[in-house]
């Protein structure tokens, strides 16, 4: 990561602390240096610092302090609008939304590398699908034959039929004006269902996205009985020693860059890249079939569900 990137990722507290320390330094260093340079005159009974020197020292101190806080202000602004620095979506557990396999008997024994996947993500008005939050963007990419299919993406904005809270806009950048003339979820989901077909669905923290889709089944008549894989659970299985299984944490460990973080398409592309790496690692561990992966994830789901009770 470059130096500018590191500065942009400083926390608000770190920026304030460094700005204060730099301000003190900008004030203390010029005065300390001038006193040292003219200490002889002071000891010999001189009148003190020459007026011109004092004015220059004051100008340097004030100007330097102003520069420090201008830089700090720019970093504060960068933190406010750089969606890469926002916290990850919290883990969402509603395990029944991951247990609806379609044509299980036909695909359970297939090799992972021979399956077709649709990796998707949603952006929403908030984090509570059962309390009325809505999808405002849905996107997906296809993974076949060990690669992401180029020029075969699905990406749609959705009119939620409600104002988008300001608190969520800073995460995804989608405003009311951007979705005002877009189709409703009832019009978008049939198109997405056609795009998915009978592929295996993949998402990061998949229970969250699947909850939104399942809650719309009655209203839209569109169901997604596809088998679902969750890259978050796969990460726990592959890197159980790690405590960070967010999409940001995984991509950083894998050296995968995310273009368009906190956008449905950008996160879908990043998750697809993560999936391909994970499939390779699973194969090296002797896990080559869909059944093996599902069983491994089911164990993790069970353990995490038990932890939620304590």
Q: What is the set of active-site residues?
A: 262
Q: How far apart are CA 91 and CA 305, in angstroms?
A: 12
Q: How far apart are CA 48 and CA 51, in angstroms?
A: 9
Distances 161 to 37, 82, 124, 185 between C-alpha atoms, Å: 70, 27, 12, 9
Nearest alpha carbon to residue 61 among 6, 98, 99, 22 = 22
Long-range pairs for 243-247: beta carbons < 8 A, 24 or more residues apart:
245/91, 246/88, 246/89, 247/88, 247/204, 247/205, 247/271, 247/274
Burial classification of residue 1, based on how many CB atoms lie within 10 Å of its CB (0-12 exposed, 13-18 middle, 19 or more buried) = exposed
Contact 301, 237 (CB under 8 A): no
Q: How far apart are CA 48 and CA 35, in angstroms?
A: 9
Contact 159, 135 (CB under 8 A): no
């Amino acid at each position: 990561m470059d130096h500018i990137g590191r500065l942009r990722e400083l926390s608000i507290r770190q920026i304030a602390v460094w700005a204060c320390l730099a301000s003190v330094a900008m004030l203390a260093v010029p005065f300390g240096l001038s006193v040292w340079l003219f200490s002889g005159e002071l000891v010999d009974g001189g009148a003190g610092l020459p007026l011109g020197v004092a004015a220059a020292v004051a100008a340097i101190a004030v100007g330097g302090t102003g520069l420090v806080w201008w830089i700090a202000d720019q970093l504060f602004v960068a933190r406010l609008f750089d969606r890469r620095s926002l916290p990850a979506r919290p883990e969402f557990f509603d395990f029944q939304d991951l247990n609806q396999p379609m044509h299980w008997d036909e695909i359970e024994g297939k090799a992972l590398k021979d399956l077709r996947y649709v990796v998707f993500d949603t952006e929403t008005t908030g984090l509570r699908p059962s309390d009325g939050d809505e999808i405002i963007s849905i996107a997906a990419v296809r993974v076949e034959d060990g690669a992401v299919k180029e020029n075969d993406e699905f990406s749609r904005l959705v009119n939620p039929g409600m104002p988008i809270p300001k608190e969520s806009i800073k995460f995804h950048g989608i405003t009311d004006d951007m979705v005002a003339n877009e189709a409703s979820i009832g019009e978008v989901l049939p198109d997405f269902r056609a795009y998915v077909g009978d592929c295996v669905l993949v998402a990061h923290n998949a229970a969250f996205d699947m909850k939104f889709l399942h809650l719309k089944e009655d209203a839209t008549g569109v169901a997604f009985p596809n088998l679902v894989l969750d890259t978050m659970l796969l990460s726990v299985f592959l890197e159980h020693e790690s405590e960070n299984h967010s999409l940001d944490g995984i991509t950083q460990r894998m050296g995968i860059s995310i273009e368009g973080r906190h956008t449905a398409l950008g996160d879908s592309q990043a998750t697809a890249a993560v999936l391909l790496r994970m499939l390779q690692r699973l194969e090296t561990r002797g896990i080559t079939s869909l059944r093996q992966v599902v069983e491994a994830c089911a164990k993790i789901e069970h353990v995490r569900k038990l932890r939620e009770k304590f």
